[in-house]
Amino acid sequence: MRRLTKTPDDGNAVEQVAGNGLLHRRALLGTAALGVVGAGIGINATGAAAEPLIEPPWGLQIGDNAPPYQTPSKFAKNVVRTLTNPDFQPRSSIARTPHHLLEGTTTPNGLHFTIVHTGVPDIDPRAHKLLIHGLVKRPLVFTFDALLRYPMTSRPAFVECGGNSAPLFSPKPIQADLQALHGLASCAEWTGVKLSALLDECGIDPGAKWFIAEGADAPHLMRSVPLSKGLDDAMIALYQNGEPLMPGNGFPMRLLLPGWEGNLNIKYLRRIKLVAEPAMSFWESQVYTEPMPLQSEARGKAYQFTFLNEVKSFITHPSPGHELKQPGVYEISGIAYSGRGKITKVMVSADGGRSWAEAALQGPVMSKAFTRFRLPWRWNGGPAILQSRAWDDQGHSQPTRAAFIAERGQLDAMPSVLAFKNHHINTITSWAVDPHGTVKHVYA
């Protein structure tokens, strides 16, 4: 098998723009310049393949019928969510998105992450109702069909659990893959009714400053949200990537608060109550708080109402679990997002942060949604530490680990990769590549 490769001595036209092999992103525009991929296997001049091209079975047989609802090939059976509670014990169930096996910016509905506390409820939309009451002029009850009468809006948005990336609080880098570390963020095109339209219908009492949102499943999870967000881009979402919501993502309706902590985006929404003060529910007083480090002056205190999911990015490929089989040119690919708005820039390093190059962003860049970034990299077969760092349109960027830990602290120990003992960590993530091409999670 003759493999076509070109060495860097070819006078390759693409310049290296940062240490350890990062190439200029314009090389992505056409591989005439990139040229060194050479991943095709050459066949000899007579046209006979080095290995004969034989007719495989599927070229000689009838296949299966097209079903009413498609599901993936059995050969893609690894492209699934991992489950924290596969035997359905009486505790929360968490299902994570396999980002290391996906591309683009959309998370397909089958793979959107799910967190439920008493399982996924089976809700009949013909019986489900949404009550809006409290400090309103006219309390109203909406059936699902009633909501379909209101103007709809469609927009992409990520949803991220406040506890996503919590393994990064560990004092030692957890040896797990991207799915385990950052799998509690997903992105879809949501369609639904602006909450502001429904609040208009009810009429808002001037004393209202917050609203309480509550779910219909057994935990009746409740969170308090500033009314200003409700009047901004809050949505009662009814469709996910075009079809009705997945059961694990809120069917038949959920609250969508673009860019805000996942727990606030109440699934199976049944009630919104306008109030003067927050409810101080279990979830916002006991769970989604961020304790200050013991060594700080603020020890014993905790952040509360950390609404925003701050800017974050991570490299999806190469990442732990992938193996680079040989030196050569690879495309570093990843996703970036910010609850504040659009991503403006993603920088990538191949030398653990000593030098950086700007990645190409897949347009159009959308506010509070996943942005795909890419950069070509020539791996010379030596050790490398890959990092990405994103900036958003409010000027915020991801902190280094050192800066973050100084301000927020870290755990003394990490009992398991699943422990959520703190939230809202968005430090730079580092992947080390060794000379065997193995990729693992490190701190750098």
Q: Which is nearer to its own copies, 102 or 348 (CB)?
A: 102
Q: Which is nearer to its own copies, 213 or 405 (CB)?
A: 213
* Secondary structure (H, E, C), 222-233: EEEEEHHHHCCC
Burial grade of 355 (CB within 10 A; 0-12, 13-18, 19 or more): middle
Distance (Å, whole) CA 155 – CA 172: 38
63 lines the binding site for its own copies (CB under 8 A):
yes
Distance (Å, whole) CA 117 – CA 109: 20
208 lines the binding site for its own copies (CB under 8 A):
no
Closest by CA to 199, choosing from 150, 129, 166, 128, is 150
Site string for its own copies, 218-247 (x = CB under 8 A): x-x-----------------xxxxxxx-xx
Burial grade of 136 (CB within 10 A; 0-12, 13-18, 19 or more): buried
439 lines the binding site for its own copies (CB under 8 A):
no
Distance in Å, CB of 63 to its own copies, minimum: 3
AA letter at 261: E
38 lines the binding site for its own copies (CB under 8 A):
yes
Binders in 142-201 for its own copies, by CB under 8 A: 142-143, 146-147, 149-154, 189-191, 196-198, 200-201
16 lines the binding site for its own copies (CB under 8 A):
no
Q: Measuring CA to CA, how many Å separate 135 from each of 196, 210, 330?
A: 15, 10, 57
HSE-up of 128 (CA within 13 Å, CB side)?
23
Distance in Å, CB of 292 to its own copies, minimum: 33
275 lines the binding site for its own copies (CB under 8 A):
no
Q: Which is nearer to its own copies, 16 or 106 (CB)?
A: 106
331 lines the binding site for its own copies (CB under 8 A):
yes
> Residue 5: beta bridge partners?
none
110 lines the binding site for its own copies (CB under 8 A):
yes
Distance in Å, CB of 34 to its own copies, minimum: 7
Residues 6+ apart with CB under 8 A from 207: 135, 276
Which residue has 């990442």 as its token pair?
319
Residue of the chain from 9, 64, 277, 297 that contacts its own copies (CB under 8 A)? 64
The SS3 call for residue 336 is strand
Largest CA distance in the chain: 83
329 lines the binding site for its own copies (CB under 8 A):
yes
403 lines the binding site for its own copies (CB under 8 A):
no
Residues 6+ apart with CB under 8 A from 121: 216, 217, 218, 247, 268
Site string for its own copies, 336-375 (x = CB under 8 A): --------------------------x-x-x-----x-x-
Burial grade of 44 (CB within 10 A; 0-12, 13-18, 19 or more): exposed
32 lines the binding site for its own copies (CB under 8 A):
yes
52 lines the binding site for its own copies (CB under 8 A):
no
Choices 9-17, 98-106, 164-172, 411-419 (CB under 8 A): range interacting with its own copies? 98-106
Distance (Å, whole) CA 235 – CA 366: 17
**Sheet of 82-83: strands edge to edge?**
82-83, 93-96, 114-116
Q: Which is nearer to its own copies, 365 or 444 (CB)?
A: 365
133 lines the binding site for its own copies (CB under 8 A):
yes
Distance (Å, whole) CA 373 – CA 348: 9
- How open is the CA angle 247-306-308, to the nearest 5 degrees? 65
291 lines the binding site for its own copies (CB under 8 A):
no
Distance in Å, CB of 199 to its own copies, minimum: 10
Choices 119-127, 255-263, 390-398, 426-434 (CB under 8 A): range interacting with its own copies? 119-127
286 lines the binding site for its own copies (CB under 8 A):
no
Using CB under 8 A as the binding criterion, the count of chain residues that bind its own copies stands at 133
Choices 126-134, 384-392, 411-419, 424-432 (CB under 8 A): range interacting with its own copies? 126-134
Residue of the chain from 17, 18, 22, 34 that contacts its own copies (CB under 8 A)? 34
Q: Which is nearer to its own copies, 66 or 395 (CB)?
A: 66
Residue of the chain from 9, 122, 277, 297 that contacts its own copies (CB under 8 A)? 122
